[in-house]
Amino acid sequence: MRTAEPGWTATSLPAPDRAPVAAHAVDFLIDMARTHRGELVLAVIGPATNVALALKKEPRFASWLREISVMGGSTGLGNITPVAEYNVWCDPEAAAEMFGCGAPIRMAGYNITSVTGTNEADIARLLAGREWRATSANCSTSISTANASGWASTSPRCTTSAAIVPYVLEGLIDYRRCHVGVELNGRLTRGMTVCDLRTLTPEGRAERGVGEANALVAIRSEARALIDQPCWATLLDYP
């Protein structure tokens, strides 16, 4: 196991019981989209490099997807630079390709994930449960320790789940349909997701004409209600 970074508490994880998929990630994405045309929701919870490569390799890829759900970007503050969130900042060109591909896109950015998370009581409930839940709690504690060393919030945030929530529980995240562009050239703003949240016309175009709306962007979450929903309560309380 990799040595823990400063500020992190080492956590022992069980050995994996599955082998990696043999296919290249890009080919796997294309094959899944082809096989499940119109049904597949692609959850992008890291940099969009493989998504952009799939779009380049198979021009029909975007049209085969039901939706792309992005955990990344931000409507405001970033976490790597003042305005850039990590996943987009890692590969802004790929993110730009993704947001411009024409597929329906739903984005849950740092503005949402930074305020949606568990608390100490939730972690205590996990620690009281079976081994797999205790492992999850230990990971959460590690995150809390690291956050305390350099972040305003020490709460473990539900980041990845923000891309999945709308397909499981409706009404807990509010979205605005708008145009999202990715800044590629700015010396101080490279990797910024520029979300045009100004007044839109009924057709979804910004009043000042930045561009057509290309994404549903999360602007608010019912953070505590989300954690207390039955699916999360099952995770926390199942014996």
Domain range annotation of the chain: 25-114+158-197+209-221, 120-155
pTM strictly above 0.95: no
CATH node for 25-114+158-197+209-221: 3.90.245.10
**pLDDT higher than threshold 60 for residue 152:** no
* H or E stretch covering 138: helix 131-150
Whole-number pLDDT of residue 237: 43
Write down the residue that tokens 């910024």 correspond to: 192
What is the distance between the alpha carbons of residues 74 and 85, in angstroms, rounded to a whole number? 6
Whole-number pLDDT of residue 17: 87
Whole-number pLDDT of residue 166: 82
- Residues contacting residue 206 through CB under 8 Å, at least 6 positions apart: 178, 179, 196, 198, 199, 200
**Per residue in 65-111, pLDDT tens?**
999 999 999 999 999 999 999 999 999 999 999 999 999 999 999 99
Span between the terminal Cα atoms of the chain, in Å: 29
- With the CA atoms of 148, 159, 26 and 48 taken in that order, what torsion angle do they form, in degrees rounded to the nearest 10? -80
